[in-house]
Amino acid sequence: MALNSTAREMVTLRKGWEFHRGDIENIDLKADRSTGWESVSVPHDWAIDQPFDMSNDLQTVQVIQDGETHPTLKTGRTGGLPYMGIGWYRRSFNVRPGKMATLVFDGAMSEAKVWVNGHKVGEWPYGYASFHFDVTPYLNPDGRDNVVMVRLENLPFSSRWYPGAGLYRNVHLLTTDSLYVPVWGVHITTPYVKDDFATVRIRTLVNAVSPT
C-alpha cells in the first residue's frame, strides 16, 4: 500500500479552546454546557494572569541542608503565582471518516485526565513530559464535532519553583491512514562507534488496522 502526502497529518490545536478555573460538579463529559468557561488559546497558563501574592507560596518546611533543626515559614519559591488548584479545558475537533486519530500533548501541568465524547481515554500524572492517546475508538461515526475535555490539577508541595499551570505546551491532532507509523515509532541507536567508523540502527514500527 503506497502512502501519499496526505496519509499523515499533524495539526496543532491552538485556537478554539475553552477554560474553566476550578472543579465542576456533575459535569457532562460528553457535551458540558455549564457557565463560567472562557475562550483561550493553547499554550495557556491559568496562573500567570493572576495577581502575585506571597501567601500563594507559604510553606512550613525544614531545610536540613541549611542546618535547620525545625520547620520555618518560607515564601517566594514559586513566584507568588496561584498555580495550585483544578482547571478544565475543552475543545471540539473533526476527523475525516476512516482516519486514525491521536491526540498528542507536549506538556500539561498536571495530573491530566482526558475524555473524548464522554469516554475516558487515559491519564498522565507528570506535567513535564509529552504524552499521547489513540482516540480513534471514541470518535463520532461521521468524525465531526468530537469533544475533548481535559482535567488538570496542581497539588500543594508539588514543586520548589514555579511549575506552570494548565495546557502550557502545544496540543496536536495526528491523523493517519490505517497503515501508519505510531507516535514514537522510530528508534535510532548507534550500537558501534569508533573514531573512523560507526553503525547506525534504525527501527521503525508500522501498525496496520483492519477496516471494520
Predicted confidence (pLDDT) per residue in 75-97, tens digit = 777 778 889 999 999 999 999 99
Indicate the range of 3-7, 98-102, 125-129 predicted with least confidence.
Answer: 3-7
Phi first, then psi, for residue 155 (nearest 5°) are -95, 155
| Domain positions in the chain | 13-47+83-177
The topology (CATH level 3) of 13-47+83-177 is: Jelly Rolls (2.60.120)
Predicted confidence (pLDDT) per residue in 155-179, tens digit = 987 877 888 999 999 999 999 988 8
Which cell is 135 given?
482516540
How far apart, in Å, do the first and last CA atoms of the chain sit? 18
Residue 109 DSSP code: B
Which cell is 25 given?
460538579
- Kind of pairing between the strands at 59-61 and 72-74: antiparallel
Indicate the range of 74-78, 127-131, 191-195, 205-209 predicted with least confidence.
Answer: 74-78
Residue type, 62: Q
For 97-156, the DSSP string reads TT-EEEEEES--BSSEEEEETTEEEEEE--SSS-EEEE-GGGS-TTS-SEEEEEEEEEPT
Give me the pLDDT at residue 212, please.
54
Residue type, 79: G
For 157-205, the DSSP string reads T--SS----BS-S-EEEEEE-SEEPPTT-EEEEEEEE-SS-EEEEEEE-
Are the C-beta atoms of residues 91 and 110 closer than 8 Å to each other?
no
Are the C-beta atoms of residues 58 and 32 closer than 8 Å to each other?
no
Whole-structure pTM value: 0.84
State the average pLDDT over residues 109-133: 96
pLDDT band at 41 (very low <50, low <70, confident <90, very high): very high
Residue type, 110: S
Phi first, then psi, for residue 136 (nearest 5°) are -55, -45
